[in-house]
Amino acid sequence: MFPIPTLTLNAYSIAQLISTLVNFYEMLILVYILFSWFPIREGSIFYDIGLVLQSLCEPYLGIFRRIIPPMGGIDFSPVIAVIALNLVAQLVIGIIV
């Protein structure tokens, strides 16, 4: 018989997982913002990717858009959202480790 592998999660691996997930979500936000700069034809693969990114990023970004309105036509809420995400992640990692 083969031994059944067990999943052991220590504080370091949980902190690494949180860091990886935060970095991945930051990249999703960045790609979503870049997609918003270009016109995308409906029905294309980029349109579908944009819809998925919108469904993943907009609920989180919407919180900051309600607090920080666009100034001079520039939306600074994604910058604040990424900073807040990093601060919360660092706080959680600091508590865990």
Predicted confidence pLDDT, tens digits, the chain (97 residues) = 677 666 667 888 889 999 999 999 999 999 999 998 888 899 889 999 999 999 999 999 999 999 988 888 888 999 999 999 999 999 999 998 8
User: pTM surpassing 0.95?
Assistant: no
Q: Say if residues 77 and 10 touch (Cβ distance below 8 Å).
A: no
pLDDT at residue 85, as a whole number: 96
Helix/strand/coil for 10: coil
pLDDT at residue 83, as a whole number: 96
CB count, 10 Å around CB of 23?
13
CA distance 29 to 61: 9
Strands, E assignment, the chain: none
